[in-house]
């Protein structure tokens, strides 16, 4: 707590990924987040709050849809983009007139927020453009020297970042898919969120190359897998739904879970393991083209577009 109050950085677990937290009301502390992540200014960060009652401190003209979604899904893996309240540091929203808010569903995060009392600005605790951390060890290996404290809450339950819904422009827009799916939003609002479009606010999660490992990653459709991944090569790292063929020499071969929630839970840890396996390229078998794999396909597609 003292660290946050004096403008320091605290990495903490959430149910999605680890966050790199700073006092959202302290512009110098928020500036340090950008510096440590190597994140360009102009990319907004999410302000984490302890309960729905704090919405009014950060957002104005909160629509009924936001109250509905927050009441139903918070604490949980949903970020709402709302119109920014006056007096809120515009640095938090990269200069836009909106603000991203979320009550995370992890007990350690909630305790931190409740003891701190204010909002905690926190992007994922990785360097800009790299894979989000889902364990305290991942944060340590990325940012240890620059963070005052890393709270260890074990492996993140969900493993991919929160769903982001923009409610600042009338019709809800799904800016980033996540565990909470478009259909879950529609069920609460009675109207389906629009897909993001060119008028949507900028978000690094929307950049093509994001969440990327160091080694080039190729996403290969399942029905082309046999043809594309023939023979054996020491140079490749593989994440597939199949097991490694007899005598395979790949630097590493990971058989991914067939259940999307488990696959998401392991995804970033698996990509990190492949990345440091000594391979020179990563081959990933594309997941099924169904709605329940949408958020994972989104992350894999971005990881691949380098
Ligand atoms: O699950 C998560 O959301 C994690 C945990 C730590 O809460 N946080 C996270 O933060 O993924 P970050 O900064 O890596 O990604 C936040 C995304 C970015 O794509 C950012 O542009 C978008 O949220 N975002 C935040 N505020 C926004 C705003 N006002 N308008 C549009 N997008 C916003
Ligand atoms: Mg991130």
Q: Which CATH number do you get for residue 278?
A: 3.40.50.11030
Indicate whether 204 belongs to any domain.
no
pTM of the model: 0.94
Residues 127, 169 within the same domain: yes
Nearest-ligand number for the alpha carbon of 24: 1
Indicate whether 164 belongs to any domain.
yes
Residues 169, 271 within the same domain: no
DSSP states of 23-42: ETT-HHHHHHHHHHHTPPTT
Indicate whether 257 belongs to any domain.
yes
pLDDT value of residue 212: 84
Residues 77, 185 within the same domain: yes
pLDDT value of residue 210: 63
Rg of the chain, C-alpha, whole Å: 19
- CATH classification of the domain holding 145: 3.90.870.10
Nearest-ligand number for the alpha carbon of 207: 1
Tokens for 210, please give them. Answer: 């994001």
Indicate whether 200 belongs to any domain.
no
Residues 107, 182 within the same domain: yes
Residue 150 neighbours by CB under 8 Å, 6+ apart = 10, 11, 136, 139, 140, 144
Residues 96, 13 within the same domain: yes
Taking the CA atoms of 214, 254, 256 and 143 in sequence, report the sign of the dihedral they define. negative
The parent domain of residue 271 ranges over 217-303
pLDDT value of residue 230: 79
Indicate whether 205 belongs to any domain.
no
The closest-lying atom of ligand 1 relative to the alpha carbon of residue 200 is 31
For ligand 1, atom 29, the nearest C-alpha belongs to 99
Residues 103, 173 within the same domain: yes
pLDDT value of residue 306: 44
Tokens for 100, please give them. Answer: 């991203």
For ligand 1, atom 32, the nearest C-alpha belongs to 203
Q: Report how far ligand 1's centroid is from the alpha carbon of 140 (Å).
A: 21
- To the nearest 10°, the Cα dihedral for 71, 72, 74, 75? 120
Parallel/antiparallel/unpaired status of strands 194-195 and 217-220:
unpaired
Show pLDDT as tens, one digit a residue, over the chain (306 residues).
Answer: 799 999 999 999 999 999 999 999 999 999 999 999 998 888 999 999 999 999 999 999 999 999 999 999 999 999 999 999 999 999 999 889 999 999 999 999 999 999 999 999 999 999 988 899 999 999 999 998 999 999 999 999 999 999 999 999 999 999 999 999 999 999 999 999 999 875 555 554 455 556 789 999 999 999 999 888 877 788 999 999 999 998 899 999 999 999 999 999 999 999 999 999 999 999 999 999 999 999 999 999 999 864
Residues 227, 191 within the same domain: no
Indicate whether 206 belongs to any domain.
no
pLDDT value of residue 207: 53
pLDDT value of residue 1: 79
Indicate whether 255 belongs to any domain.
yes
Indicate whether 210 belongs to any domain.
no
Residue 119 in contact with residue 58, Cβ under 8 Å?
A: yes
**How many structural domains comprise the chain?**
2
Residue 268 in contact with residue 17, Cβ under 8 Å?
A: yes
E strand or H helix at 189, and its extent? helix 182-189
């Amino acid at each position: 707590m003292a660290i946050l109050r004096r403008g320091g950085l605290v990495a903490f677990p959430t149910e999605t990924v680890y966050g790199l937290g700073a006092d959202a009301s302290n512009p110098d502390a928020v500036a340090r987040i950008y510096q440590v992540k190597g994140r360009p200014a102009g990319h907004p960060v999410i302000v984490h709050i302890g309960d729905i009652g704090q919405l009014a401190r950060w957002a104005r003209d909160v629509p009924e849809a936001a109250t509905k979604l927050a009441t139903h899904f918070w604490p949980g893996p949903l970020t709402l983009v709302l119109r920014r309240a006056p007096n809120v540091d515009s640095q938090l929203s990269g200069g836009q007139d909106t603000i991203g808010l979320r009550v995370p569903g992890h007990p350690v995060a909630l305790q931190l927020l409740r003891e701190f009392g204010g909002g905690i600005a926190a992007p994922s605790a990785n360097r800009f453009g790299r894979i989000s951390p889902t364990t305290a060890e991942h944060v340590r290996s990325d940012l240890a020297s620059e963070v005052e404290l890393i709270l260890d809450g074990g492996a993140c339950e969900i493993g991919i970042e929160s769903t982001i819904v923009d409610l600042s422009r009338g019709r809800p827009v799904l800016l980033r898919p996540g565990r909470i799916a478009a259909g879950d939003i529609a069920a609460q609002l009675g109207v389906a969120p629009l897909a993001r479009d060119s008028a949507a606010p900028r978000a690094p999660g929307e950049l093509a190359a994001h969440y990327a490992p160091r080694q080039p990653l190729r996403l290969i459709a399942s029905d082309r897998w046999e043809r594309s991944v023939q023979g054996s090569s020491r140079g490749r790292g593989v994440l597939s739904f199949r097991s490694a063929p007899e005598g395979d020499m790949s630097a590493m071969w990971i058989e991914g879970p067939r259940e999307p929630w488990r696959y998401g839970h392991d995804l970033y840890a698996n990509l990190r393991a492949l990345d440091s396996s000594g391979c020179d390229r990563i081959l990933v078998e594309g997941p099924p083209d169904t709605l329940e794999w949408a958020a994972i396909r989104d992350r894999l597609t971005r990881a691949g577009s380098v």
